A and B are shown apart, each in its own frame.
Chain A
């Protein structure tokens, strides 16, 4: 019996790769397995090789595996491109239609199944996905009833005849492959899972849910990979809560519309990727200067320019931290797990209102789009904190305006919303006095700058650093961010077996940088390895700039468009020691 396994389905974009994966993993999820998915796709909608890979495990496992156990191929190209990943003794289930062959030197079992012709026999080649997933399921020796339940759920709306056809497709795929293989593969028998169905979702949807929970009721956005799922989720959900999503003409409109809506009192977000973030920069400065709460999600993808729009990267850190002209307070939060995507979104809205600043939620493509198991989300942790928002302000002295930018001890001023009877004030991106009126007075200027820039002095979000430090003085401290945590932890297990002691810190509060909290761990580590998906070591630069320890810090960088594999991390750590 094995406790984990990797499965991949590949073919041409648009021929059912996604749906095969969806139905197969939904059924696995019903059995209680932990799943972690990775989508390899390109910007084309039809045509071009695409594949989805999932990790199936009895324990939480949040990394793509180094190798592959089962490859399901809709075409020869899938085999040619992916066979090298197969472990010795792996399996290829391929459509018999194209007379599949294995490349030379690949030691795997090949099961040609007439996927297309079974589907066509049943009426439509669209059912290829059922045949393929049914065959995969049967090879693993998993209970067919559970799979059929999943099929029923997927097609129930379309009526019993459709369900029946699909169930039949599954059965024929299963029967055919079992005949070829002589029964389920004994070496691929998974230990039983806990039977508890997990949440199975993507980061973008958890962000969407986090928005609804946080009380966000408006979103303004312009579509872009890999952010669009957030708006697509919210346009389905917000109307029920009185809100809506506006697809704007560009990201400048999106962010400024969000600023207007936040100014008027509705928690509003925008979401984009690097190209859109670049367009938002001037407006982010306006939010900072006018102390207007604002939440922006940046789902990072391969840059620069259009770069690798459907590939993994973490290269917008500098843009998020330094972007916009002049100097403003700003927060950058980097969720590091699927659950974080939910909780951090709520926190982002709270921080934005409590500190009256723009907050950027930084994800990366793998975290935003990789479908994976998610722990139960806790309703009781949803807290809406609106900071110094004043309702029913008392009357003001004659001709006086509300001191929207009043100097206070913590630099945060009371805020009223338009519509408030005694709250009139002015808001401008021009330097202004306490009532918001333009002012070039240099004494006022200094006080206002200091007020704004010192607001975040004491900010430390929930798990600003996620610390896993079992060793007092580890051989190695590994530091990462975003989606890389699971990969790093998997490599650490192997390193521990080799006798190398490691601590792992995930930086979740990217800006303002949590220097004080990180320093003791840097101090005690013999060496530090900073792991990030970019070419210029942007996270490592933050650490060196704020905390020092440059002499101990080494980099592991990957910017070929692919997420790190556990073996990448393992090798890099071994090479250091």
Chain B
């Protein structure tokens, strides 16, 4: 059985010291081991951004694609081989700006993928421009007088798109984050885990301290029922999206793979692709 060390490689991340992304990397490695994965059975597909580098820092199969497209690539991987565990990951710009269309539709499609967003409310890699997650009034290089667009709520969008698993965490809370990633990996269907991951270099507002002061942990509400969609939506709105924990899970809905007609349990990539003469003749006969 693999341990979290088996998911480490010897590549030194090029993140700034103190970047929130480090803990997310560690949490993924721990969760992968905790749920019993082997490095070769895991594919981490990431987008472009500081966060997008994550696929190169985990000892597993990894694909670092293009900006905003981690999800469709990840869905292609999962469709091709459902025996693999697939994690998609990237930044808030990657998933909620350029890739927002894919995020909504990946949620609707509900393939069994765990999507971890490293949300720092800013564009890190391009050195500090506004993101859809930036607060109104937030000053960045591209919004010198403060952002005048409303802040996007990925949790609300996910809920209304029919998400079957919605969670949020904070990169300092390694324990909660790891357990949520485990829950996401165990969930049969698409799981969205949005993680507050402070950018210490370009975001001087949403700092570690800021999050500690402002977020509420769902553990504070012992009666909270994460299978209740209305309660989930209410809680997100009540807390202005600044909550952590498992917000919603629908265990009833089957993942896409199980709904596709004719889809077999073994990975498609491992199946024989030779067309028999008999099947060929049948197909050709339809053209007569």
Q: Quick check: B63 and A242 within 8 Å, CB to CB?
A: no
Q: Specify which chain A residues have a CB less than 8 angstroms from the CB of B104 in the assembled complex.
A: 249
Q: Quick check: A424 and B66 within 8 Å, CB to CB?
A: no
CA distance A266 to B283 in the complex (A): 21
Q: Quick check: B66 and A265 within 8 Å, CB to CB?
A: no
| Interface residues in A, total, Cβ within 8 A | 71
Q: Specify which chain B residues have a CB less than 8 angstroms from the CB of A244 in the assembled complex.
A: 79, 260-263
B241 within 8 A of A: no
Q: State which residues 11-49 of A face B: CB under 8 Å.
A: 29
Given A213-B280, A242-B271; A256-B62 close (CB under 8 Å): no
CA distance A213 to B43 in the complex (A): 29
Given A264-B43, A419-B40; A428-B64 close (CB under 8 Å): yes
Given A209-B283, A218-B268, A256-B69; A266-B79 close (CB under 8 Å): yes
CA distance A312 to B280 in the complex (A): 31
Q: Specify which chain A residues have a CB less than 8 angstroms from the CB of B40 in the assembled complex.
A: 418-424
Q: Specify which chain B residues have a CB less than 8 angstroms from the CB of A382 in the assembled complex.
A: 275, 280
Q: Quick check: B263 and A427 within 8 Å, CB to CB?
A: no
Q: Specify which chain B residues have a CB less than 8 angstroms from the CB of A2 in the assembled complex.
A: none
Q: State which residues 193-223 of A face B: CB under 8 Å.
A: 197-201, 205, 209, 212-213, 215, 217-218, 220
* B70 nearest in chain A by CB position: A256
A360 within 8 A of B: no
CA distance A242 to B257 in the complex (A): 11
Q: Quick check: B269 and A264 within 8 Å, CB to CB?
A: yes
Q: Quick check: B66 and A429 within 8 Å, CB to CB?
A: yes
CA distance A275 to B218 in the complex (A): 46
Q: Specify which chain B residues have a CB less than 8 angstroms from the CB of A198 in the assembled complex.
A: 288
Of the listed stretches B53-61, B197-205, B232-240, name the one at the interface; the rest are far from the partner chain: B53-61
Q: State which residues 411-470 of A face B: CB under 8 Å.
A: 417-430, 437-438
Q: Specify which chain B residues have a CB less than 8 angstroms from the CB of A200 in the assembled complex.
A: 287-288
Instruction: Identify which of B73, B84, B274 contacts A256 (C-beta below 8 A).
Output: B73
Task: Determine which residue in B55, B59, B61, B83 has the highest number of CB atoms from chain A within 10 A of its CB, and name it.
Answer: B61
B193 within 8 A of A: no
Instruction: Identify which of B9, B74, B101, B269 contacts A419 (C-beta below 8 A).
Output: B269
Q: Quick check: B76 and A260 within 8 Å, CB to CB?
A: yes
Q: Quick check: B72 and A263 within 8 Å, CB to CB?
A: no
* A213 nearest in chain B by CB position: B275
Given A213-B275, A243-B268, A267-B273; A218-B280 close (CB under 8 Å): no
Instruction: Identify which of A243, A248, A258, A259 contacts B105 (C-beta below 8 A).
Output: A248
Q: Quick check: B101 and A429 within 8 Å, CB to CB?
A: no
> 0/1 per residue, A238-271, Cβ < 8 Å to B?
1111111010111011101111111111111000
Instruction: Identify which of A205, A283, A427 contacts B69 (C-beta below 8 A).
Output: A283
* A255 nearest in chain B by CB position: B72
CA distance A420 to B288 in the complex (A): 43
B27 within 8 A of A: no
CA distance A240 to B39 in the complex (A): 32
Q: Quick check: A252 and B72 within 8 Å, CB to CB?
A: yes
* A249 nearest in chain B by CB position: B105
Q: Quick check: A374 and B76 within 8 Å, CB to CB?
A: no
Q: Specify which chain B residues have a CB less than 8 angstroms from the CB of A259 in the assembled complex.
A: 65, 73, 76
B142 within 8 A of A: no
Given A253-B102, A290-B63, A429-B66; A260-B74 close (CB under 8 Å): yes
CA distance A382 to B279 in the complex (A): 13
Q: Quick check: B287 and A419 within 8 Å, CB to CB?
A: no
Q: Specify which chain B residues have a CB less than 8 angstroms from the CB of A261 in the assembled complex.
A: 76-77, 79-80
Q: State which residues 33-49 of B face A: CB under 8 Å.
A: 39-41, 43, 45, 48
A282 within 8 A of B: yes
* B10 → chain A closest CB, angstroms: 6
Q: Quick check: A257 and B73 within 8 Å, CB to CB?
A: yes
Q: Quick check: B262 and A240 within 8 Å, CB to CB?
A: yes
B81 within 8 A of A: yes
Q: Quick check: A249 and B79 within 8 Å, CB to CB?
A: no
Task: Determine which residue in A197, A243, A421 has the highest number of CB atoms from chain B within 10 A of its CB, and name it.
Answer: A243
Q: Quick check: A197 and B80 within 8 Å, CB to CB?
A: no
Q: State which residues 252-288 of B face A: CB under 8 Å.
A: 260-264, 267-271, 273-275, 277, 279-281, 283-284, 287-288
CA distance A424 to B261 in the complex (A): 32
Instruction: Identify which of A263, A283, A399 contacts B77 (C-beta below 8 A).
Output: A263
Q: Quick check: B264 and A242 within 8 Å, CB to CB?
A: yes
Q: Specify which chain A residues have a CB less than 8 angstroms from the CB of B73 in the assembled complex.
A: 256-257, 259-260, 263
* B158 → chain A closest CB, angstroms: 15
CA distance A253 to B284 in the complex (A): 31
Q: Quick check: B81 and A286 within 8 Å, CB to CB?
A: no
Q: Quick check: B77 and A419 within 8 Å, CB to CB?
A: no
**Given A218-B76, A283-B66, A437-B11, 15 additional A-B pairs, CB 8 A:** A200-B288, A209-B283, A218-B79, A218-B268, A249-B104, A253-B102, A258-B76, A259-B73, A259-B76, A264-B84, A265-B269, A379-B280, A379-B281, A382-B275, A438-B64
Nearest 10 CB-CB pairings of A with B = A260-B76, A215-B273, A239-B262, A265-B269, A264-B80, A261-B76, A260-B73, A418-B61, A428-B64, A266-B80
Which residues of A come within 8 Å of B, CB atoms?
Answer: 29, 197-201, 205, 209, 212-213, 215, 217-218, 220, 237-244, 246, 248-250, 252-254, 256-268, 282-283, 285-286, 290, 374, 376-377, 379, 382, 384, 399, 401, 417-430, 437-438
In the complex, 11 of the A-B residue pairs with CB atoms within 8 angstroms, ordered by the A residue number, are A200-B287, A212-B283, A242-B268, A246-B109, A248-B105, A258-B76, A260-B74, A261-B79, A266-B79, A286-B66, A290-B63
